[in-house]
Structure 1
Amino acid sequence: MNDLMSAGMHRVWKDRLVEKLRPFPGMRHLDVAGGTGDVAFRVLRALREAEAAARPQVPGPGPSRSAPPQKGTVVIADINPAMLLEGRKRAAGEGIDSYDLEWVEASAETLPFPDDSMDSYTISFGIRNVTDRDAALREAKRVLRPGGRFLCLEFSKVVVPGLQQLYDLYSFAVIPQIGRLVANDGASYQYLVESIRMFPDQESWARQLEAAGLVGVEYENLMGGVVAIHSGFKLH
């Protein structure tokens, strides 16, 4: 359904999210509402690539040798156990070592992690469905270490003149029909469209991040604002 609805563009958006994240060796990353692993697997691959590229040379007699870099971890939190189960199946199918990922059943509003325990936090197409977004943002800030980064990929408001009308037509007339025909669930995709319209615009969401105590808040529009990536940092 994601591929059909976005013509495969959701893959590009998620790649861009990880590109902005810039995983670094030894990083402990939290992906919230990411039960199927779609973003977490991308982060893990980028993390391992960064660690491989950062292998230092150990001085000593004889030929120099590389010391293994500290291995980072990716934690996946999702309130839905069925989504986590699907993610585990996908990880096994893709040959991803279970030791590289941690799977935690948890709500974004009450995360079971210590204060200052994560270097970074992502949530992709999930914050829109959180009942208390302010609580989720407080939790995100709490678990981030000082200097840690928050990134959110979410549907947003179209900013290109003339595109809004086409987007509305596609959203309300086409997406629910695709859901009905492909997933036998038109109602859920009708909700999807309506929830997108109810989500704050780019500037409003940025102000909400700032109100939660994040600093350096900025956003990047993708596809003319169909989706946006918001980011911010925990200062202390």
Structure 2
Amino acid sequence: MLYRIVISLSCMALLACGSNSAVQTPRYRAGGGSPNADDAFVLQEGRVVIFNANLTMKVENADTFNVRLTEIARQHEGYVVKLGSESSTFRVRAQHLNKALKALKGEGKIISKTVSGNDVTEVYHDYEIRLENLEKSRQRYLELLARAENVEATLKVEKELERVNGEMDSLKGKLQSMKHLADFSTITIDIEPRHKPGVVGYVFVGLYKGVRWLFVRV
């Protein structure tokens, strides 16, 4: 009898995990209505959106630039993911993404910039519902475990509990990661050094300035 109950609960748990109902959760998304592209990302209710910005910048010195990136991240409640001579990545609070991007304008020449938003609302809500249903199944298995009358029944229930706990841990990890990436926007910068002319280059620069001076004089 207990075995049949365990099987029934397993089937119910699997069916419940496929539910499509949703629970509203406030997160960040791209907002419309702003004529300024730099102000296009605003806080709205009911969406879970992960924003990523990718830039290519020319800078005078990569080390000095990375020091400034660390300061910009801290000023916007974020943190550094990695710093390098060719590429650096940091995260800022999603509501500060626009300000952080504006702050970068004064740190070098922006060659290219793209900002994308990945709306994961439905996936996030689906994970929440699956986690809630698994928690209900877990409670039922715990009740069955308390009523188990022999070792065989106990082992069967414990096996199902182990499976449910594993699925719950996996979903919790996914939800936590998704929430973090929605709360903190990621900014990745490809760094290009400003090339200074060599010896021959300086000769041509000097000639150019001299010729320009002569024409101006004339």
Q: What TM bracket, shorter-length normalisation? A: under 0.3
| Structure with more relative contact order (C-alpha pairs < 8 Å, separation 6 or more) | 2
TM-score using structure 1 length: 0.23
TM-score using structure 2 length: 0.24
Task: Point out the structure with the larger helix share.
Answer: 2
